[in-house]
Amino acid sequence: MSKGDLNLLEGDSQLSASTLPPSEAAPQAEVTRRGFLKQSGGAASAAALLSLPKASAAATVPVPATGPAQVLGPGAVPATLLVNGKPQKVMIEPRDTLVTVLRDRLGLLGTKLGCDRGGCGACTVWVAGAPSLACMTLALDVAGLAGQPPQAITTVEGLAKGSVLHPLQQAFVDKDALQCGFCTPGMLMSCAALHEQARAAGKLASVGEKEVREAIAGNLCRCGAYPHIIEAALAAAKLPTAPAPGKGGVK
């Protein structure tokens, strides 16, 4: 929005019946922007409520049993992140996203920061075993604070067991499943989560191309290495004894 648009809006708030041409002037008194927004907003809310199915409209929002919400910040507060099985004490500001804390404070540079708005999947990590976008996760939401245990976070550094690569990582190497490699950590975390879920259900060997495509649907590869990425994920799923990830793996 340009400065000119802003000025127009400011002027709009002063519009009144006396400033309108006769054909547009309302018989009532002054029409202000605030009044207009109140009325139109109220009408929209009422319409939305009326259009809800009965069950939804009647549903009640559960009230948390805990006391008043904890107020943190605006400065950094001491917290603990459980990353790849290790508790890490770190100062976190309420505005810090998980990806910035992982990369800038803990030096875990495997997790990449691409779009920083949930659109590319480069920052994919696991939170409590589920693939999550670290750029869209506030670090304090997954950190341990007074009375709140930390959630287990797994980054790409937690996939390998020491110097032994996770089978998926090895398959990415064997199948040449990367070019620049920027998307690779996120791709690995999405594919590994699929494998873990399939393994838990006893269906790892039957993971197919459709499942792999769905698992990496939120991960963009600007180099277009998709065919080899899918090939690698399928090959790793067929290994007879694909072990669970290293530290901090999914439950």
Binding residues vs ligand FES (CB under 6 A) = 113-116, 118-123, 133, 135, 178-183, 221-223, 225
* Residue 242: CB minimum distance to ligand FES, A: 23
Residue type, 29: A
Cβ closer to ligand FES: 42 or 119?
A: 119
Return phi, psi of residue 77, to 5°.
-125, 150
Q: Which of 154, 150, 116 is nearest to 132 (CA)?
A: 154
* Strand pairing report for 77-83 and 152-154: parallel
Cα separation, 14 vs 32, in Å, equals 6
Q: Is 16 helix (H, G, I), strand (E, B) or coil?
A: coil
- Residue written as token pair 């939804």: 56
Closest distance to ligand FES from the beta carbon of 93 (Å)? 19
Helix (H) or strand (E) holding 185: helix 184-200
Write down the least CB distance from residue 100 to ligand FES, Å.
Answer: 11
Q: Minimum distance between the CB of residue 129 and ligand FES, rounded to whole angstroms? A: 19
CA distance 148 to 68: 14
Of the pair 144, 166, the CB lying nearest ligand FES is at 166
Q: Which two tokens stand for residue 166?
A: 């996770």
What is the SS3 assignment for 23? Answer: coil
Of the pair 57, 180, the CB lying nearest ligand FES is at: 180
Place of tokens 């910035």: 100
Query: Mapping DSSP to helix (H, G, I), strand (E, B) and coil, where does residue 27 land?
Result: coil
In angstroms, what CA-CA distances link 230 with 35, 124, 133, 155, 176? 56, 17, 21, 21, 11
Minimum CB–partner distance for residue 87 and ligand FES (Å): 25
Q: How far is the CB of 178 from ligand FES (least distance, A)?
A: 4
Q: How far is the CB of 135 from ligand FES (least distance, A)?
A: 3
Nearer to ligand FES, 191 or 204 (CB): 191
Cα separation, 72 vs 137, in Å, equals: 16
Nearer to ligand FES, 121 or 246 (CB): 121
- Pick 198 or 212: Cβ nearer ligand FES: 212
Q: Based on CB atoms, which residue is closest to ligand FES, 148 or 179?
A: 179
